[in-house]
Amino acid sequence: MTETLIDLDDEALAEAAKPLGTSSKKDAVNAALREITDRRRRAAAIARMREMVAEGEIDFSATIEKGDGAQQAVA
């Protein structure tokens, strides 16, 4: 791990630490970095799935709704 001296917005850091569940500045910054990269990775995966659906690579027409509103795949 690299040690770096940076100026941080204390209010933004404290606000970010709450939902991240962190108690130290170091943990808050590291958790925030992981969170943003995870979000971007998930967004890219969703975009790719949408492309696959549009291109016909994924077909959701093979699913049916059960009476309770849950989806069930049909073989």
Looking at the domain assignment, is residue 4 inside a domain?
Answer: no
Looking at the domain assignment, is residue 5 inside a domain?
Answer: no
Looking at the domain assignment, is residue 2 inside a domain?
Answer: no
Phi then psi dihedrals of residue 72, to 5 deg: -135, 130
Residue corresponding to tokens 């659906």? 53
**CA distances from residue 27 to 34, 48, 64 in whole angstroms, order as listed:** 10, 31, 45
| Count of domains for the chain | 1
Looking at the domain assignment, is residue 31 inside a domain?
Answer: yes
Looking at the domain assignment, is residue 45 inside a domain?
Answer: yes
Each residue's pLDDT tens digit, 14-48: 999 999 999 999 999 999 999 999 999 999 999 99
Check: pTM over 0.75? Answer yes or no. Answer: no
Looking at the domain assignment, is residue 63 inside a domain?
Answer: yes
In terms of residue numbers, what domain contains 54?
A: 10-73
Mean confidence (pLDDT) of the chain: 87
